[in-house]
């Protein structure tokens, strides 16, 4: 291997974590950052140097989807091999995708997690999987999935290193943002940005584009280039503020609106109470009920005394656990004076009066919701 200076290949923002890995202070390393932050280049070099230093060490590099391996992490590891000048030491294989160090038999395996069961059969002729790298870790389903994969791969060896690299999702409630907010003794969280990289590594065009986005779209710049979490958990609205709404504020609200999105098994039921400030064009959401598997009767108990108003009438949740509708618009000569009873997945509307008595049966929830949309929106 040719003699190199690490400063020629990694940004100064990675010097501390490099020392931490070399001294074995932690097991789990979470590397987050925006575009051009250099985290993938750093990890590819770190893994390669680790294998050269320890002949019993092997590595497994993972992506959520196998089809993404070749053009991302496989090319990245080949870049590191070239950067260190050790091309003659390594053999490349595409099927299965792996890099083999010729005179030691050490391997760098590249696997997709489309079928996690296949990872349980990974074995090394020599040594153990000292390095695990989850690239684009936010693409995985959650910490439970990563724990299961780690349990399959982290076997043998005294010192293990697990790397998780990702661009932080915008949503604050994303599982990976919540996970990395928790402190653990065996975990190090590292944040890098392109500002810590040498300008010649990035190129003039990259820097010009970053500067344009910074001036014209500061929120996009903060998220995409600085790797900041700029959202609250909802993707529809960007201009959200999370804070406690005081009882005094609620007492002064005079434009109350209530929303109900029905759900049960897969999609949860969602009920909110809101106030709209027309002058400032602000929407205040100060009561929220969200649950899976919640029946209408239980919803009525949870939201007893609350009601949903529309221009045609009211849906009232009573303490008895029944949902009533009562027409309040004098322009409509109709009243709904009956409960909607819960009966498995069926809802019957009894004694429906609209100018004259008409008996209507709604066979299922979808038909009932369609009727509600026609008459209450």
Catalytic sites, residue numbers: 136
- Taking the C-alpha atoms of residue 60 and residue 19, their distance in angstroms, rounded to an integer, is 22
Half-sphere exposure of 122 (CA within 13 A, CB side): 33
- Taking the C-alpha atoms of residue 203 and residue 26, their distance in angstroms, rounded to an integer, is 34
Instruction: Give me 210's structure tokens.
Output: 């970053």
Q: Which position has the token pair 């205040």?
A: 284
Q: How many residues does the chain have?
A: 377
- Three-state SS string over 270-319 comes to EEEEEEEECCCCEEEEEEEEEECCCCHHHHHHHCCCCEEECCCEEEEECC
Instruction: Give me 236's structure tokens.
Output: 């529809």
Query: Nearest CA to 22 among 35, 10, 32, 33?
Result: 10
> Quick one: DSSP state of residue 72?
I
- Taking the C-alpha atoms of residue 371 and residue 307, their distance in angstroms, rounded to an integer, is 19
Cα–Cα distance list, 141 to 138, 150, 309 (Å): 8, 14, 39
- Helix%, strand%, coil% for the chain, nearest 5: 35, 25, 40
- Taking the C-alpha atoms of residue 93 and residue 117, their distance in angstroms, rounded to an integer, is 22
- Taking the C-alpha atoms of residue 144 and residue 134, their distance in angstroms, rounded to an integer, is 14
- Taking the C-alpha atoms of residue 124 and residue 105, their distance in angstroms, rounded to an integer, is 9
- Taking the C-alpha atoms of residue 317 and residue 312, their distance in angstroms, rounded to an integer, is 17
């Amino acid at each position: 291997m040719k003699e190199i200076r690490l400063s020629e290949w990694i940004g100064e923002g990675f010097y501390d974590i490099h020392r931490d890995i070399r001294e074995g202070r932690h097991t789990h390393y979470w590397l987050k950052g925006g575009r051009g932050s250099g985290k993938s280049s750093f990890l590819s070099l770190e893994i390669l140097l680790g294998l050269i230093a320890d002949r019993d060490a092997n590595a497994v590099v993972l992506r959520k989807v196998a089809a993404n391996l070749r053009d991302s992490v496989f090319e990245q590891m080949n870049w590191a091999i070239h950067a260190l000048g050790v091309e003659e030491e390594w053999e490349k294989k595409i099927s299965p995708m792996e890099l083999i160090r010729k005179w030691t038999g050490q391997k760098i395996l590249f696997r997709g997690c489309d079928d996690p069961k296949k990872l349980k059969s990974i074995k090394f002729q020599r040594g153990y999987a000292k390095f695990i790298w989850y690239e684009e870790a936010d693409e995985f389903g959650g910490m439970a999935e990563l724990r299961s994969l780690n349990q399959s791969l982290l076997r043998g060896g005294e010192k293990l290193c697990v790397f998780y690299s990702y661009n932080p999702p915008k949503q604050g409630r994303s599982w990976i943002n919540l996970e990395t907010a928790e402190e653990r003794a065996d975990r190090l969280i590292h944040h890098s940005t392109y500002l810590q990289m040498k300008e010649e590594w990035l190129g003039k065009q990259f820097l010009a584009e970053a500067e344009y986005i910074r001036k014209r779209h500061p929120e996009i710049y903060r998220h995409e280039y600085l790797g900041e979490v700029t959202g609250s958990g909802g993707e529809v609205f960007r201009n959200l503020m999370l804070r406690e709404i005081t009882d005094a504020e609620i007492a002064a609200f005079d434009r109350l609106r209530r929303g109900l999105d029905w759900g049960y098994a897969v999609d949860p039921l969602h009920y909110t109470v809101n106030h709209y400030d027309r002058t400032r064009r602000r929407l205040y959401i100060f009561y929220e009920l969200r649950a899976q598997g919640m029946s209408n009767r239980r919803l009525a108990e949870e939201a007893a005394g609350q009601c949903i108003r529309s221009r045609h009438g009211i849906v009232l949740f009573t303490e008895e656990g029944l949902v009533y509708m009562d027409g309040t618009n004098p322009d409509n000569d109709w009243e709904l004076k009956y409960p909607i009873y819960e009966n498995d997945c069926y809802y019957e509307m009894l004694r429906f009066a609209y100018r004259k008595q008409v008996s209507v049966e709604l066979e299922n929830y979808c038909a009932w919701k369609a009727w509600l949309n026609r008459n209450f929106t």
